[in-house]
């Protein structure tokens, strides 16, 4: 059990990061405000988590302007998709262990 | 801070977010039921106004009598009837869906709603324009089938962003539309079944599946 926990993917240790990745898995791209609404969090908190995920190249950022307003969209990368699936596999293992 | 809890909670959260962010789940079954009832009343009004003389059940009489002077006199009434039905159905649909969203603690007009509406309106607009063209070519008898077919296509397109029942409803509307374009005299009847009975049927199905059981 302990050995499994040590393998826990650090990327997904926070609720917000896991949430961001869940949303990006099923949407082609999502903008900042939509993520903020869905995850019910603050600008600063969300931005720092997004930045962490970007740094680990789990997601891509695309900045553009809608009229005069900046609009930032996020998209999952291949490695992001892979890591998320791995995390799901890991959760599955944990649950199987729990119910043994 | 927000550390992850039990795996089961994590999985619930993942599933919840995936659903909420990709599909419009506030669509209420009651919207369908109310829209269906309104459509049935509207079709009934049109039916009785057109003298209740079996015009819609006899193809030969339909072609001879449904000529332009006849339609010309009832044109205003039927159009008003149709617009009132459309407005009331839309209003009640939006009302019940807003109610459900509030109960779920979600915003009604979010990204998923926008995507659903945009995808609904692409085939629907094409259908509307096509019906105007039919009118222009004096092919009035094809209008009821055309509205059903295009509405069905619009629902199938929109269903990718909401409950899958909408897809089945769309397929039913297309089948009814094709039947109506074959049996041209029964336009109003097929219209009443498609927009009235089908909405009520699938509305009830959605209501009992997603709304009545939930706390």
Residues from chain A that touch B1, judged by Cβ atoms under 8 A, are 14
ipTM of the complex model: 0.83
Where does the pLDDT of residue B72 fall: very low under 50, low under 70, confident under 90, or very high at 90 and above?
low
CATH number of the domain that A82 lies in?
Answer: 1.10.10.10
**Domain limits for position A77:** 2-98
For residue B74, what pLDDT is reported? 67
For residue B133, what pLDDT is reported? 93
Q: Does B110 touch chain A (CB under 8 A)?
A: yes
| Gap from B76 CA to chain A (nearest CA, Å) | 43
SS3 per-residue string spanning chain A: CHHHHHCCCHHHCEHHHHHHHHHHHHCCCEEHHHHHHHHCCCHHHHHHHHHHHHHCCCEEEEEEEECCEEEEEEEECHHHHHHHHHHHHHHHHHHHHHCC
Percent share of chain B, pLDDT over 90:
55
d(Cα B107, Cα B101) in Å, to the nearest integer?
6
Q: Does B107 touch chain A (CB under 8 A)?
A: yes
Residues from chain B that touch A88, judged by Cβ atoms under 8 A, are 14
Residues from chain A that touch B14, judged by Cβ atoms under 8 A, are 18, 22, 88
Structural domain total, chain A: 1
Sketch the domain layout of chain B as residue ranges.
28-75+111-211
B17:A22 CB<8 A: yes
Give the residue among B126, B166, B116, B141 at the shortest CA–CA distance from B62. B141
Torsion sign across C-alpha atoms B3, B5, B11, B16 = negative
pTM: 0.80
Backbone angles phi, psi at B210, to 5 degrees: -115, -15
Backbone angles phi, psi at A70, to 5 degrees: -70, 140
pLDDT in tens, B183-193: 877 888 899 99
**For residue A4, is pLDDT > 60?**
no
B164 contacts: CB under 8 Å, gap ≥ 6: none
d(Cα A38, Cα A75) in Å, to the nearest integer?
16
Burial class (CB in 10 A: 0-12, 13-18, 19+), A55: exposed
Residue among B18, B107, B110 minimizing CB distance to A25: B18
Phi-psi region of B39 (alpha: psi -120 to 50; beta: other; left: phi over 0): alpha
Number of neighbours of residue B96 by Cβ within 10 angstroms: 23
Mutation target to probe the A interface, by most A beta carbons within 10 A, among B3, B10, B107, B108 is: B10
A23:B8 CB<8 A: no
DSSP string, B50-88: TTTSSGGG-HHHHHHHSSHHHHHHHHHHHHHHHHHHHHH
If one compares A6 and B194, the residue with the highest pLDDT of the two is: B194
pLDDT in tens, B86-108: 999 999 999 999 999 998 888 88
């Amino acid at each position: 059990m302990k050995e499994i926990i040590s393998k826990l993917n650090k990327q997904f240790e926070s609720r917000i990061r896991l949430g961001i990745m869940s949303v990006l898995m099923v949407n082609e791209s999502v903008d900042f405000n939509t993520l903020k609404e869905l995850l019910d969090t603050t600008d600063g908190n969300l931005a720092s988590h997004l930045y962490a995920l970007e740094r680990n190249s789990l997601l891509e950022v695309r900045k553009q302007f809608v009229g005069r307003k900046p609009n930032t969209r996020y998209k999952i990368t291949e490695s992001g998709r892979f890591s998320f699936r791995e995390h799901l596999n890991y959760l599955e293992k944990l649950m199987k262990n729990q119910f043994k | 801070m927000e550390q992850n809890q039990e795996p089961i909670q994590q999985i619930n959260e993942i599933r919840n977010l995936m659903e909420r962010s990709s599909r419009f789940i506030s669509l209420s079954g009651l919207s369908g039921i109310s829209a269906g009832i309104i459509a049935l009343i509207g079709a009934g009004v049109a039916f009785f106004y057109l003298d209740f003389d079996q015009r819609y059940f006899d193809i030969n009489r339909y072609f001879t009598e449904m000529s332009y002077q006849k339609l010309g006199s009832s044109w205003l009434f039927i159009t008003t009837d149709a617009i009132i039905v459309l407005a009331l159905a839309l209003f009640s649909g939006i009302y019940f869906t807003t109610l459900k969203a509030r109960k779920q603690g979600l915003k009604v007009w979010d990204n998923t709603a926008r995507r659903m509406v945009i995808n609904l309106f692409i085939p629907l607009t094409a259908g509307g324009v096509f019906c105007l063209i039919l009118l222009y070519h004096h092919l009035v008898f094809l209008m009821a089938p055309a509205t059903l077919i295009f509405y069905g296509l619009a629902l199938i397109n929109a269903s990718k962003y909401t409950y899958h029942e909408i897809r089945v409803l769309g397929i039913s509307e297309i089948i009814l539309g094709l039947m109506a374009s074959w049996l041209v005299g029964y336009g109003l009847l097929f219209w009443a079944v498609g927009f009235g009975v089908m909405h009520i049927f699938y509305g009830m199905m959605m209501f009992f599946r997603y709304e009545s059981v939930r706390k």
